[in-house]
Structures are given as structure tokens and as C-alpha cells.
A = this chain, B = another copy of it.
């Protein structure tokens, strides 16, 4: 790290910092400029040291140099990781499509949708049994009944299932039914939950928090991996900005940024990312062109009756168009979508 001293910080203050750095086990390199002294500190670094040093008299600021993530980072794991969900590989040549309704509402609704997305070439079925909702008066999900319905849909279609987990206590329960556990945007820094999903071996889909930086997102992945589970897939789903024309601002630059800094696969959710079904198809295409390893798409047979997120759900017909267009696009960049024959 670099310790930047204040303008005209006295020699005593500079000395106090260098003494402290030595106590903490750092090698120091002092650079005395005309206007300011800066101290380069090399060595093992505990996160709290940064704040302690920042609190010393005469210190203007601390500039960290090393990235704080190790296990999620690319520096010591240069090859891209692949994560297996059932028979599906995420992070390989094939672009993986997870599709289904926002919420599991009933067995009929889920099965009907599951058949449609399967027919059109989706690889994984999504559907929420536990729904985190802004209002306590909104539909909160069918809970364990929803999990059972998801398992039934897997039996019928053969598609592995991804579903959200919101309570650390439910890891074992959800893991019984689902093939992949989703940690939602609002829980990206629910560290208790991150550690719990880190203790099981089910693959985890970690959505980016509404206001999380790429670095904080990788630190959330670091929580999971350092707890013992390295089957982590990241999902960009839009960040919160001043723009109100879309529900969120889909930050597709996160795709090359994650590829640059991390070995983890990354998929994109243009449904939450835009909040408007009209924009889902172009942004799905864009996600693939940016290098994403997969898509997560909300599909509902009758969006106007959906209990959650109707405005951003595709009909099966629109989903079919999405699969056809992204298939061509994937080929153009040397990847593929849908190894199954699409009818």
C-alpha cells in the first residue's frame, strides 16, 4: 500500500508512521517530494491496517495497491473456471441459458413454462420459491411447495433447476430440491448467507448487488470460495443509477472487467437489468457479444397474470425469437447456444 502524508506533515509524524509500519511487518520505501512525502509499504497486509494507518495524524490517505480478492482473482488462477450444474457446463464453449418465470406460482404455471423453455433450447430452469419483495404485502413465494414443484418440473423436463435462497437456515432444504442456489442482489453482502452456501457443495449463482462495485462483488464470491465452495457463477443484473427509464442500468462492461480480474464464469440477466420486456432481446444479444457465458431470462406464459415481474417477462414466442437470434450471434463469435435441436 502507499501512505500519502499531508502537505507539510512534520518529520515526527512521518517517523511515527514508518515506525508503525515496521511494527506491522511492512518494508518501507520513503519518497520525499517537494510538496509531500509518500511511503511505499510492502508486505503482508491485513485489511484493518489500512484504516488504522489512515487514522494516524499527518496521514492524508492510504492507496491500496493489491486487489483484495485472492481466490476469486485471476492472478493465482489464470485459467477460466467451469462450473457444472447437473449435466450443464457453465464457462465452456456453449452459452448457457437459464429461463423460467420470476416466481413459481402453481404447478400448472411452472410446468407449462418449463416445457416451453425446454422446447426452445434453454439449459436450466429458473423459478423463485422464496421471493424477496420490497413490500411485505406482495406475494412472497410458495416456499417449500414451490421447491417441490421445481423438482417435479425437473423430473419431467430433465432441466436442472436454479432457485433463490434468502434464509441461511434454508441451505439444506433448498439444496435437497435445487441444482444451483441463487444468492440475490439484495443479499450479495448478506455475509451469513454467503458463508452458509459456501459450506455446501451445490453451485452458487451470485447476483451483483444493486450498488456493488465489481470489486465488492468479487469479495462476496471470495466469502463463498473461502468457506469451501468454489462452484461460483456471477450474474450481472443491472446496477442502480440516476436513470429511471429502465429499472436498472445493465452494466455490460462488467463482463470484460470480470474476465480481466477473475477466473469465474459470468452470465447476464437482461430481464432485471432493464425491467422492460422490449429491451430484453437486444440486451441479451449484447451480453453475448460482450463475452458473457450465459443468460438468465424471465419467461411467463401470461405475463399479464404474473404474480411478480410481469413487465419484464417474455412470452414463449418472444423467448423463441431470443433463442434463434442469440444462436446466430453466438456462432458469429465462435461459441454456440443450444446443442439440442431447436424445433
Contact = CB atoms under 8 A, between A and B. Distances in A.
Given A286-B289, A304-B20, A310 B52 contact: yes
A190 B191 contact: no
A189 B190 CA distance: 10
22 contacts: A4-B65, A29-B29, A33-B65, A34-B42, A38-B65, A51-B310, A52-B305, A52-B306, A53-B304, A68-B134, A68-B135, A132-B191, A136-B219, A136-B222, A136-B223, A169-B169, A187-B190, A211-B240, A213-B245, A241-B251, A250-B252, A256-B283
B245 A66 contact: no
Closest 8 CB pairs of A and B: A211-B211, A55-B310, A332-B332, A289-B289, A55-B303, A54-B311, A286-B290, A285-B289
A304 B55 contact: yes
Contact of A290 (B211, B239, B285, B306): B285
B288 A289 contact: yes
A320 interface: no
A88 interface: no
Contact of A279 (B75, B253, B285, B311): B253
Contacts of A239: 241-243, 249
Interface stretch (A92-100, A116-124, A154-162, A270-278): A270-278
B75 A7 contact: yes
Nearest to A194: B136
**Max chain B C-beta neighbours (<10 A), residue from A34, A137, A186:** A137
A137 B46 contact: yes
A137 B35 CA distance: 18
A210 to B, nearest CB: 5
Nearest to A40: B31
Q: Interface size class for chain A?
A: 35 or more
A291 interface: yes
A71 to B, nearest CB: 9
A28 to B, nearest CB: 9
Nearest to A290: B286
A213 B134 CA distance: 11
Interface string A309-342: 1110100000000000100110111000000000
Contacts of A20: 304
A311 B279 CA distance: 31
A289 B75 contact: no
Given A54-B311, A243-B251, A306-B52, A132 B282 contact: no
A287 B88 CA distance: 29
